[in-house]
Amino acid sequence: MTTPGGDGVPIASNDDVVRVRQLVRAAAAAAGMSLVDQTKIVTAASELARNTFVHGGGGSARVESVVNARGRAGVRLVFTDSGGGIPDVAQALTEGWTSGGGLGLGLPGARRLADEFELETEVGRGTTVTVTKWTR
């Protein structure tokens, strides 16, 4: 399942963050993930969607169903914004460091909850975070 439109669903409000969580939940259940793994990927999605909205000034989320070479199903999430980008990636991935009023668990937490994590960012151009979780 890929979310319709190709570009994904917009993240332009707090309601959209909730909507993304629901989409990810449905995709994770469809992939046959355990309840714990569903909860982990939905929580990661919540952190990343909030980052996209709060730090990236809004953007979009793409929810994809994927299958790896060994036939294992999974869910891949791509969060994109065209905000200010992250000047210091190492710092942003450090636990407890926060640029806003959060706990500094958003990015490092999402990385831990997913199986694969990829971060592309350019100052002044925006940020794309891709996470994947596979069924066990």
Partner 1 sequence: MERVPILKIGQVLLVSIQVDLQDQTVLALQEDLADRIVRTGARGVIIDITAVDIVDSFIGRMFATIASMSRLMDAETVVVGMRPAVAITLVELGLSLGGVRTALDLEKGMRLLGAPLPTIGSGAVDGP
Residues 76-115 binding partner 1 (CB under 8 A) are: 95, 102-103, 105-106, 108-109, 112-113
Q: Which stretch binds partner 1 (CB under 8 A): 32-40, 58-66, 86-94, 120-128?
A: 32-40
Asked if 15 touches partner 1 (CB under 8 A), the answer is yes
Contact status: 63 vs partner 1 (CB under 8 A): no
Surface-to-core class of residue 96, CB atoms within 10 Å of its CB (0-12 exposed, 13-18 middle, 19+ buried): exposed
Please report how close the Cβ of residue 107 comes to partner 1 at its closest, in angstroms.
10
Handedness of CA 41, 43, 46, 52 (dihedral sign): negative
